[in-house]
Amino acid sequence: MDRTLDGRQSAVDSRPDSAGMTSRSRDLEDVSFGAVVEADDAYRVQWATPDGLEVVGRGVAARIRARGPERFDEIRAQAESTFDGLDHRGPAVARPRAFGGFSFHDGHESGGLWRGFEAASFVVPEVLVTRSDDGTWLTAVGDDPEEATRRLEAWHDRLLELPAMRPSGSGPGVAETRRTTPIESWRAQVEAALERIDAGELTKVVLAQALSVDLEGPIDVPATVERLRRRYPNCYRFLVGDGTGGTFFGAPPERLVSKRGNRVETEALAGSVPRGETPEEDDEHVERMLDSEKFRREHGLVVEAIRDQLAPLASELTVDDRRIRRLATIQHLQTPIEATLEADRHVLELVEALHPTPAVGGVPPGTALETIRETESFDRGWYAAPIGWFDAAGDGEFAVGLRSGLATDETVTLFAGNGIVADSDPEEEWEEVQLKLRPILDELR
């Protein structure tokens, strides 16, 4: 049903108001997650965390959408209605969850490249397959117990016919690439940002680029995500597509926030250098990063901002020691941050408080966002924005939509950015952005 809240359109399409959402689960022999989310006109989602939880979903049991400056509040209010009276029979790990995300800018409108991706959109899938250390589970959601049970048994029979493993193959091949930001334009953008920093208007701003990749054949997105799993096992992995537009997917290294009960985990991830050919070269790159005032300042801004954003909501807050996060092609400075909430909060309240962190926006936030809108020549859409899930209890987990691409037909648009601070060099920042484009680009070749 469509409705208007405070003059801004939002929508929640779900079960009849008089019925509660019902879900039923049963254990399942291992199944290929890629085969479950094969492309068709149905909504499909895939979510995986570094600690081993994997979920795939298909179909729409409930859809929640909003736009405008109040989108976080509207999604949270609609979620309460959607999950009200939930009757779940099965293990907690297999419970229904709402998957989706937000756009980077609150003024985003669905259309163009980002057709089908609203400023805020979440779906409770009709069918979910969940894999964790406790096993693999199939969950079906319906308007009543009979519908949920029928759907559960029908999908169980259907999944038995799928292979337990699905070959991930190789990339479709790259025919041509096109940049939204040539290097000459990039230099001008960085220099303009540095002028604002010198004038005291900004301390940091993250500028991004988009790279359009024409493929030699159609892309198999689930297979691409599987190859990303093998190369980047300690990253998040996601896939979101509703069959009407493109499919947004990626392997982001950065957790935005995780909430379980009153415990919150987040992190600062900013500052990056390449991997070396040997452990000694790895260490040399790291030493250069640790010795750099620019990298230390950039990372410190992110730590400080996250701490300041969480402190008003927390009774306890711990900032851990800084460490090195090593991935297949890149190394980052990382600082884990944990908190205990002083009161009951929905994970979306934390998402709203933290987005955008200085790792993807800048300092001060308002001026940084204004600079990004004025400078970038493409629509960020859901790039660098919160992607994840929440449940009926208001728990959930969100990553930052980095190391990502939007697949449409035989084209994939990749996104990557870098933080600009006082002593940034345009050429070095350019090279770092190219490094961040590699994870997806390498899997397309």
Beta bridge partners of 138: 26, 129
Of 147, 204, 226, 432, which one is the catalytic site residue? 204
CB 440, CB 250: distance < 8 Å: yes
426-444 and 221-231 helices cross at what angle (nearest 10)? Answer: 120
Is 204 annotated in the active site? yes
- pLDDT (tens digit per residue) in 133-145: 889 999 999 999 9
Separation between Cα atoms, residue 281 and residue 167, nearest integer Å: 34
Q: Which of 113, 43, 109, 66 is nearest to 415 (CA)?
A: 113
At which residue do the structure tokens 């992995």 appear?
237
Catalytically annotated residue among 74, 118, 147, 254: 254
Q: What is the dihedral of CA 388, 391, 397, 400, to 10 degrees?
A: 20
Q: Supply φ then ψ for residue 76, to 5 degrees.
A: -65, -40
CA distances in angstroms from 247 to 280, 356, 409, 411, listed in the order given = 39, 23, 10, 11
C-alpha gyration radius of the chain: 21
In the three-class reduction of DSSP (H, G, I as helix; E, B as strand; rest coil), residue 165 is classed as coil
Encode the chain (445 residues) as per-residue pLDDT tens digits: 333 333 334 444 544 343 579 999 999 987 888 888 876 768 999 999 998 899 999 999 999 999 999 999 999 999 999 999 999 999 999 999 999 999 999 999 888 899 999 999 999 999 999 999 889 999 999 999 999 999 999 999 988 887 766 666 788 999 999 999 999 999 999 999 999 999 999 999 999 999 999 999 999 999 999 999 999 999 999 999 987 889 999 999 999 999 999 999 999 998 889 999 999 999 999 999 999 998 998 999 999 999 999 999 999 999 999 999 998 889 999 999 999 999 999 999 999 999 999 999 999 999 999 999 999 999 999 999 999 999 999 999 999 999 999 998 889 999 999 999 998 999 999 999 999 999 999 999 9
- Classify residue 370 as exposed, middle or buried by CB count within 10 Å of its CB (0-12, 13-18, 19+): middle
- CA–CA separation, 3 vs 253, rounded Å? 37
d(CA 307, CA 186) in angstroms, rounded, equals: 31
User: Diameter of the chain by CA atoms?
Assistant: 66
Annotation says 429 is catalytic: no
Residue 296: how many other CB atoms lie within 10 Å: 15
pTM given for the model: 0.92
Q: Environment class of residue 310 by beta-carbon count within 10 Å: exposed (0-12), middle (13-18) or buried (19+)?
A: buried
Map residue 324 onto helix, strand or coil: strand
Strands 54-58, 127-132: parallel, antiparallel or unpaired by DSSP? antiparallel
